[in-house]
A and B are shown apart, each in its own frame.
Chain A
């Protein structure tokens, strides 16, 4: 321990924490000797892939783990008191009072059958020793602070009457209302849209700073880390592999894992022709003891010593430590795999011909209560041969509905769809997109069987070819979907989509269920296939950096309409519609230097209900530039032959 902080200012000190889960298939060591400290008022981000032990570590600190999880060793000193040795009663006096917690999933973190008032007021009464009236006033005050409109009225709501973003605000108000000194936030914005995420992060940052509370912020989004944190802890396989100030971590990452992780994110300065760096392989299975460095199988700098001995955290600078035998990790760029694979044929050159055309497309759904949801309202779009069209927008703006219309899974209310050739799909959820009773081979062969293409032997051959085309061993054909990892399943989904030689593949959030390192693998695969086969893609995602990287053109959707369309580079470099601007502003960039210079005013409010659309501009209720004209008169996209289109009265 050579973390030399004055004792007085250290709030939390974790020493050699070990957490185990005793499962039927073995003991998983989820946290394997973690040590770090948080100063008063400091924001520490914990990053790492899913399964790296972030949440288990956070839950261990408050002893919120439930069976079969168990803190197996170490100390957690909060204000000098060891939490691991406290009785249940003493612990309860700390939870809520000294440490507030915000969890990942706002939809399930509030008691569904209890009013917000009840859930909020009683902890305040107990912790701050207030009477009911005072506590209620306090609760309303906090609800107002976190940005809930009409808090006096909304406090009597049930959670189900609120959106996810609103519920997360309530969680934050609950966590902060008892004036804790430490707030632990476990992926508090992962389930939310970028715009809402930006608002929530802003609220968390301002309110904790105002109260002088320290924060431990768990995330897998490096952009958020850059926007938010003072210090960063990078976790891998249950250990902290690098710890330091945010500027140092981003500017001089010294552990190969941190370096690779930063490399896998498409950056704004990156050229389209660059290949996305990717980390090969998968994290280790934590049920088995790890000999040597846990990262050795995926590390390009691994050497003999790494196989035998596990590195410990050692100093790399002021307040900067890393656990790696190699002093500088990967030698910059050289060993991170970025080069293109061998190509058998010339890359496809787009020729400008159109493969998909959507004309004045409308789609309305009737709900069970006889109301009409206007999901898609007059969309005109074209997809060119060999190009990728990215569609972005907040949840519920109609992206998926456009995809389903394009694929013929829904019938349009009006308008027409022209497709030259065939459209196929890659779905978001790799778990439900395969019939669990079919082998991978049968799944990939299904389109061929249905369309009666080829005989059995030819189909077998085609399946082998398709499976290896997406980078899997043909032996996978024998397996069942549940025997594959998420990334492998998504490869199979791509193979199935390619079976009938489609002219366009629609991918609806194909990477959002995957970890960053695997995400880069899938994106590279899609890019390779586009260039190799000349297939067009429609890529739907809320991950704007990825969309920018992968797309040739971009359509921004809002409330069922396309509000801006143009070449990806142009739209990102020079967004013209106020909504596009807000959307791009909301995306955190993984660079603390840029983030600290940005003055973001997050987009206010939430997406209005598609049940009753405004008469004028759909965006008017949230637009900072809105005028009376906007509210009365609807701006429309100009002639859709233009290469750049914006639906706004005041856009240049």
Chain B
């Protein structure tokens, strides 16, 4: 026995589960960023979900007696040239945006972690093969890669999701690979190797868990980015095609009437911005919460 025993004062338990539990208690909400993010995102989400039961005109419904109307109580964002309710169309567009955002983030996260871990952990031929392809993809400016891909795959929600994901996956692979590489040389890996831990053990116990936080942060930024890219594609007439509303094509529709009815183009744009800002604050907050040192 050693001669002195240092005593430990109890400290709050931590870990992923605890972090999630904390989100529902005050800890997460004590982060100003998370509060702000929720303040922005929750109402938008709620309105989007509740849209079908709200007392508003359906997104595709036209009303020739109420064309290009200035925003009012009845039409919060006004109406367009066919008398469609912009607010209702915007909410439908948000649905598309969120679907695209989350799908892209999920695809990029899963493929990025898988291929990035393989490349970083095993190195050699696998690494070189994966990284060669990644470098080729990264040689394209990302919006132009997406444009090129939708021009081949066609318009619609699935091609848009695939096109944007294909532009994002290489970035995720790179990030994951560099994380794995720097973790691989850490002393705790050596410590595990001296007790003959298997490669599988090293990967699942030591490497991957330490990469998740950064990847989640990257994923929420990628979601915001995907929402912007989808809107841009639809705005250019290459993404989601009318009459199905998307934030980008609503703005595009309004462009012609910018002078007579500015609200058609500008208001949905504000919603895009709000969602993107909300997601960014969320990613910042998540980063702070997942970092054990910040506790």
A residues with a Cβ closer than 8 A to B are 280, 340-342, 344, 404, 407-409, 423-425, 427-429, 432-438, 446-447, 450-451, 468-473, 475-476, 478-480, 482-483, 488, 491, 493, 496, 500, 521, 524-525, 528
Tell me which residues across on chain A come within 8 A of B186, comparing CB atoms. Answer: 432-433
Instruction: Given the known inter-chain contacts A435-B206, A476-B8, please indicate yes or no for A447 contacting B190, CB distance below 8 A.
Output: no
In chain B between 190 and 239, which residues have their CB closer than 8 angstroms to a CB of chain A?
190-198, 201, 205-206, 209-210
Complex CA distance for A528 and B205, rounded to whole angstroms: 33
A427 touches B191 (CB 8 A): yes
B187 touches A427 (CB 8 A): yes
B8 touches A479 (CB 8 A): yes
A450 touches B197 (CB 8 A): yes
Tell me which residues across on chain B come within 8 A of A521, comparing CB atoms. Answer: 4
Tell me which residues across on chain B come within 8 A of A528, comparing CB atoms. Answer: 2-3
A408 touches B3 (CB 8 A): no
B8 touches A482 (CB 8 A): no
B201 touches A450 (CB 8 A): yes
Give the contact stretch, choosing among B10-18, B75-83, B265-273.
B10-18
Instruction: Given the known inter-chain contacts A475-B8, A479-B11, A480-B292, please indicate yes or no for A341 contacting B191, CB distance below 8 A.
Output: no
B191 touches A425 (CB 8 A): yes
Tell me which residues across on chain A come within 8 A of B5, comparing CB atoms. Answer: 468, 471-473
A433 touches B187 (CB 8 A): yes
Chain B contact residues: helix, strand, loop or mixed: loop
Beyond the given A341-B2, A438-B205, please list 12 additional residue pairs across the A-B interface where CB-CB is below 8 A. Answer: A344-B1, A409-B190, A424-B194, A429-B187, A433-B186, A433-B188, A435-B188, A446-B192, A473-B7, A475-B10, A476-B8, A478-B13
Complex CA distance for A491 and B186, rounded to whole angstroms: 19
22 interchain pairs, CB-CB under 8 A: A280-B4, A340-B3, A341-B2, A407-B190, A424-B195, A429-B187, A432-B186, A446-B195, A446-B205, A450-B192, A450-B195, A450-B198, A468-B5, A471-B6, A472-B5, A473-B6, A473-B7, A475-B8, A480-B14, A496-B191, A524-B3, A525-B2
B6 touches A407 (CB 8 A): no
Tell me which residues across on chain A come within 8 A of B14, comparing CB atoms. Answer: 480
Q: Separation in Å of the B105 CB from the closest CB of chain A?
A: 22
B residues with a Cβ closer than 8 A to A are 1-8, 10-11, 13-15, 186-188, 190-198, 201, 205-206, 209-210, 292-293
The 9 closest A-B pairs by CB, nearest first: A471-B2, A341-B3, A433-B187, A475-B8, A447-B195, A473-B7, A427-B187, A476-B8, A473-B8
Complex CA distance for A406 and B124, rounded to whole angstroms: 26
A407 touches B292 (CB 8 A): no
Complex CA distance for A407 and B206, rounded to whole angstroms: 19
Complex CA distance for A482 and B2, rounded to whole angstroms: 23
A451 touches B196 (CB 8 A): yes
B292 touches A482 (CB 8 A): yes
Tell me which residues across on chain A come within 8 A of B210, comparing CB atoms. Answer: 435-437
B10 touches A427 (CB 8 A): no
Tell me which residues across on chain B come within 8 A of A468, comparing CB atoms. Answer: 1, 5
Complex CA distance for A588 and B222, rounded to whole angstroms: 57
Complex CA distance for A93 and B13, rounded to whole angstroms: 54
Instruction: Kindly report which residue of chain A lies nearest to residue B183, judged by CB atoms.
Output: A435
Instruction: Kindly report which residue of chain A lies nearest to residue B207, judged by CB atoms.
Output: A435
B197 touches A471 (CB 8 A): no
Tell me which residues across on chain B come within 8 A of A435, comparing CB atoms. Answer: 188, 205-206, 209-210
Complex CA distance for A435 and B10, rounded to whole angstroms: 20
Interchain CB contact (< 8 A) of B191 among A344, A433, A483 = A433
Interchain CB contact (< 8 A) of A471 among B3, B190, B293 = B3
Most buried by A among B15, B187, B190: B187
Tell me which residues across on chain A come within 8 A of B13, comparing CB atoms. Answer: 478
Q: Separation in Å of the A346 CB from the closest CB of chain B?
A: 15
Most buried by A among B1, B7, B15, B198: B1
Interchain CB contact (< 8 A) of A500 among B10, B195, B198 = B195
Q: Separation in Å of the B146 CB from the closest CB of chain A?
A: 35
Most buried by B among A428, A433, A491, A493: A433
Q: Separation in Å of the B243 CB from the closest CB of chain A?
A: 49
Complex CA distance for A471 and B8, rounded to whole angstroms: 11
Q: Separation in Å of the A16 CB from the closest CB of chain B?
A: 35
Instruction: Kindly report which residue of chain A lies nearest to residue B294, judged by CB atoms.
Output: A482
Q: Separation in Å of the B225 CB from the closest CB of chain A?
A: 28
Q: Separation in Å of the A254 CB from the closest CB of chain B?
A: 26
Complex CA distance for A476 and B198, rounded to whole angstroms: 27
Q: Separation in Å of the A224 CB from the closest CB of chain B?
A: 29
Tell me which residues across on chain B come within 8 A of A280, comparing CB atoms. Answer: 4
Complex CA distance for A434 and B68, rounded to whole angstroms: 64
Tell me which residues across on chain A come within 8 A of B198, comparing CB atoms. Answer: 450
Tell me which residues across on chain A come within 8 A of B292, comparing CB atoms. Answer: 436-437, 480, 482
Instruction: Kindly report which residue of chain A lies nearest to residue B13, judged by CB atoms.
Output: A478
Tell me which residues across on chain B come within 8 A of A473, comparing CB atoms. Answer: 5-8
